Amino acid sequence: MNELILELEEITPKEFFGAQNANIKILKQYFPKLKIVARGNKIKAYGDEDLLEEFDRRMEMLMVHFGKYNKIDENVIERVLTSQSSDDYETSAQSGEAIVHGVNGKVIKAQTVNQRKLVESMKKNDMVFAIGPAGTGKTYTGVALAVRALKNKEVKRIILTRPAVEAGENLGFLPGDLKEKLDPYMQPLYDALRDMIPPEKLANFIENGTVQIAPLAFMRGRTLDNAFVILDEGQNTTHAQMKMFLTRMGKNAKFLLTGDPGQVDLPRRTISGLKEALLVLKNVEGIGMVYLDDKDVIRHKLVKKVIEAYKSIENRD
């Protein structure tokens, strides 16, 4: 049996191994045919030569990451172990530039390969579809790009919209005035903005119309010039709503449409406007389409496991 010995230099073993060797346990799950032992400042692995070479390569990537960021967690380990190549991982985790500096100096940047592809696609195209399950950073990354465009004076306003109350936008039964009725459905967009724009400045932007957050129905009849426009939860649009939205695009506008085709809340036998648009527009020049998956999930580690569990049930059906 072949042996590989890796020595952690200038790395605190306890932090690298994780609490109760949690990170080592993850490594063992991904390399079940290797015997992996962590002791002191060394990691020893035993097994076939080919597997040991692959293990050595992935460990080098993890140690480089730790050296730069002084931490690793389950999400980082999984991204490293499942990336197609070190170039892919370098693109997202190591060479990703800051999109924008948020409140209290928070650095907001693409954290995964596909989020990085979304950033690049928005540079090249005026209209981009970002498709993927919950927690993959579609909306958050999009809002960061919109805030950057506003700060750089590339656009004069940010417009965020989504279908409210499923797809029908029937808000009359809710208590309160119009803003109070709408706010619960717009909350994810507010949350992202609050991370990136100081509260007082954000309030001023909303008051003077620099930042507009409104349900999709309010887009009808408008021409959206000089704006970065995000349609969130696009899977819950109908054919008519999607066509209406897409034709609002004015001069010097950027459109980002996000959605998860696996979470359609439309009535049965109603075609999702997002699903249809992906087919109709797939070959149109100037429109980008970026697909994110469970490898891009950056919420709590359980979110990824929930997605995988549901996916296994849906595949059986």
50: number of Cβ within 10 Å: 9
Go through 65-99 and write b for each residue having 16 or more CB atoms within 10 A of its CB, e for each that does not.
Answer: bbeeeeebeebbbbbbbebeeeebbbbbbeebeeb
Q: Are 129 and 242 in contact (CB under 8 A)?
A: no
Q: Please return the burial class of 166, using the count of CB atoms within 10 Å of its CB with bins 0-12, 13-18 and 19+.
A: middle
From 45, 70, 90, give the residue that closes a domain: 90
- pLDDT tens digits, one per residue of 143-182: 999 999 999 899 999 999 988 654 344 555 555 555 566 6
Region 261-277 average pLDDT: 88
**Owning domain of residue 49:** 2-90
Alpha helices in 111-177 (DSSP H): 113-124, 138-151
Among 90, 114, 138, identify where a domain stops.
Answer: 90
Domain at 132, CATH number: 3.40.50.300
Note whether residue 293 is domain-resident.
yes
Lowest model confidence (mean pLDDT) among 90-99, 122-131, 294-303: 90-99
Domain count, the chain: 2
Q: What is the pLDDT of residues 45-87, one digit of tens each?
A: 999 999 999 999 999 888 887 776 667 888 788 888 877 655 5
Contacts of 137 (CB under 8 A, 6+ apart): 110, 111, 112, 115, 292, 296, 298
* Residue 280 in this model has a pLDDT that exceeds 60: yes
Tell me the C-alpha distance between 237 and 215, whole Å: 11
- Please tell me whether residue 136 adopts helix, strand or coil conformation: coil
Tokens representing 218? 């309010």
pLDDT for the residue 166: 47
Which residues, 6+ apart, have CB-to-CB distance to 210 below 8 Å?
Answer: 150, 156, 157, 158, 204
Asked if the structure places residue 95 within a domain, the reply is: no
Q: Is the pLDDT of residue 193 over 60?
A: yes
Q: Are 293 and 114 in contact (CB under 8 A)?
A: yes
- List Cα–Cα distances, 55 to 58, 80, 84, in angstroms: 5, 11, 14
Q: Is residue 235 part of a domain?
A: yes
State whether 82 and 122 are in the same domain: no
pLDDT tens for 211-222 read 998 888 889 999
How many other CB atoms are there within 10 angstroms of residue 188's CB atom?
15
